[in-house]
Amino acid sequence: MRLGLAFLLVVVLAGISLWVGVSGISLARLAGGDPRDWLILWESRVPRMLALVLSGAAMAIAGLLMQIVIRNRFVEPSTTGTVEAAGLGLLVMTLMAPGAPVIVKMAVGAVFALGGTGLFLMVLRRVPLRDQMMVPLIGIILTGVLHAVTTFIAYRADLMQTVLAWTQGDLSGVLRGRYELLWLGAAMAVIAWIAADRFTLAGLGKDMATSLGLAHGRVLALALVIVSGVTAVVVVTVGTIPFLGLIVPNLVSLAMGDNMRRAVPWVAVSGAGLVLVCDILGRILRAPYEIPVGTILGVIGSFTFLILILRRRRDVA
């Protein structure tokens, strides 16, 4: 029942999103068949709303999946180098094959994202971890290094504006025909839900999972492929949405525990709702100008990250 109410709230937010924007549309004109209002609705507002819902749900599930398999509540794609690596891959494709189809750029971005995540895990294995906070700290350092490399290459190639478009999480340019790849990200999120029990077992650790008959290496590889694919799809379509995979899974886990199968629907609905709220605020606060979703989520996420850290420290003490 509570999940149904949450879903209904997301539907209401999605409906509100359709009517917020610089170009006003009205039910009366739509009922009268006004071609301008119908054009705005179907070419811009509906694709943008769907992009918000799909990207929010998929990135929140990717964050939950990463936290479970890495066994740390302070990691997510934007704090482990995954997002920055995907952006680096897109930049390389822009330089080497600017005319390549978007699906090809997405695939290359996913490969780079997978490489960035693998590099993060390799560093973790080589560093003695006496404190859980070392894990996100290493991820943030790696993210900074990858961002510096991307910025340097973009500056030398005069592509800084292109890189900024990927890092702001701005949906103002989403139109029909430019968001459909997000359905692929949603499909990968569904696969994560189907295999949720295996990922939950993998989160118990390699020795425990192996003793229960789970092929830990294969499950971990599947998880990394899903996270990398979702990240690449979202970055190439709408840009970076920071901290979403950190905030939502942590709040859901506080209420429901670590059972991934139970948590995934809540994480998906909450992620979609949070992104919708941030986008609506971004279009209202400085109307007729827009504040990118990534900017608002960055502010909310950084404060939430600090609160989670302080709460963790207090619980340990």
Q: Is 28 within a domain? A: no
Q: Is 12 within a domain? A: no
Q: Is 95 within a domain? A: yes
Total Cβ atoms within 10 A of residue 313: 10
Q: Is 2 within a domain? A: no
Instruction: CATH number of the domain at 269, please.
Output: 1.10.3470.10
Q: Is 249 within a domain? A: yes
Tens digits of residue pLDDT in 84-137: 888 888 889 888 888 888 888 888 888 898 898 888 888 888 877 666 677 878
Q: Is 106 within a domain? A: yes
Tokens of 8: 């209904």
pTM: 0.89
List of residues 6+ apart from 60 with CB closer than 8 A = 244, 245, 248, 249, 267, 268, 270, 271, 272, 274
Q: If DSSP codes are grouped into helix, strand and coil, which group holds residue 193? A: helix
Number of domains in the chain: 1
| Residues of the domain holding 233 | 58-316
CA dihedral 233, 238, 242, 247 (to 10 degrees): -80
Tens digits of residue pLDDT in 27-49: 777 777 778 878 888 888 889 99
Q: Give the H/E segment covering residue 98.
A: none
CA distances from 304 to 140, 233, 295 (A): 16, 25, 14
Q: Is 239 within a domain? A: yes
Q: Is 258 within a domain? A: yes
Q: Of 249, 192, 197, 229, whose CA–CA distance to 83 is shortest?
A: 229
